[in-house]
Amino acid sequence: MLPVPARVDPRVRRTRQAILEALEALLRERPYSSITVHDIAERAGINRATFYAHYREKHELFVQLVEKHFASVLTAHALPPGKVFIQDVRRLFQGVCVFLAQVHLDRRAHPCEMDAQVDLQVQRQLNTLVSDALRGSEQRCNSRRISRDMTATLMASGIYSSATAWAIQSPPPPLEAYIEEAMVFLSAGLLATGYVQDPVA
C-alpha cells in the first residue's frame, strides 16, 4: 500500500498543484535546464516568494513531479498486500518497464542534470511498494530462510534493473517477449523465498 499523504490545507494543495502543472506544461515546450523558477511562477500565476514558500528549488519540484507520475503507475499495478502471486509481480514489472521507457525517451530528447535523483526516487518508491506488500505475507513451509526485507530489496532491485535494461535500448525489443524471458529468472528466485506464490502450484 502506498503511503497516505498527511492532510493539507486545500489552498496549499491548489497552489502546489498549480506549480506542478506549470512545470509539467513547460517541460512539454523546452528542456528542464532552460526552465527557471521565474518561468514556473509566471506560468502558475504566482510570484517567486510564493514558489519558495512551497519548494526550496526547482529540483525539488521536478523530483516531486516524477514521484507523482510514478505513484500513479504503482497504484495501477499495486501488489496485493499479504498474498503476492507471480502474475502480480509480472504486472508490476510491465508497468515499470512502460514508465521507464517514457523516462528514457524524454532523456534522449532533453538530457537533465536531475537524472540520478529521478532514478533514486523511482527505486525508493518501488522498494516501498514491494516492502509494504510483503509485510503481511507468511513464508511457505520448507522455504529457505530469508527475511522479508531482503526479499523486498532483491525483488525491487530485480524489477528496476531489468526494466531499465529494456527501456534504454533503442528501439526496445518486444515487451511481452522480454518480460517472459526475464520472469524465468525472477520467478525462480522469488518463489524460492517462500513469500511469493505460484497460483498453479
**Residue 23: helix, strand or coil by DSSP?**
helix
Side-chain-side CA neighbours of 85 within 13 Å: the count stands at: 7
Task: Specify the CATH number for 61-197; select among 3.90.1150.10, 3.30.470.10, 1.10.357.10, 3.10.110.10.
Answer: 1.10.357.10
C-alpha cell at 178: 522480454
Q: How many Å is the Cα radius of gyration of the chain?
A: 19
* Res 1: pLDDT: 41
Amino acid identity of residue 18, one-letter, is: A
CA atoms of 115 and 107, how far apart (whole Å): 8
Q: Say if pTM beats, i.e. exceeds, 0.85.
A: no
Contact 159, 92 (CB under 8 A): yes
C-alpha cell at 52: 519558495
Q: What are the pLDDT tens digits along the chain (201 aa)?
A: 445 455 667 888 899 999 999 999 998 888 888 899 999 999 999 999 999 999 999 988 988 998 999 999 999 998 988 789 999 999 999 999 999 998 887 777 666 666 788 889 999 999 999 999 998 787 776 666 788 899 999 999 999 999 999 999 988 899 999 999 999 999 998 888 888 888 765
For the stretch 34-40, contacts whose Cβ atoms lie closer than 8 Å and that sit 24 or more positions apart, written own/partner, are none
Q: What are the residues whose beta carbons fall under 8 Å from the beta carbon of 150, sequence distance 6 or more?
A: none
Domain 10-55: CATH superfamily is Homeodomain-like (1.10.10.60)
Side-chain-side CA neighbours of 182 within 13 Å: the count stands at: 23
* Res 7: pLDDT: 66
One fold for both 10-55 and 61-197?
Answer: no
Sketch the domain layout of the chain as residue ranges: 10-55, 61-197
* Res 137: pLDDT: 81
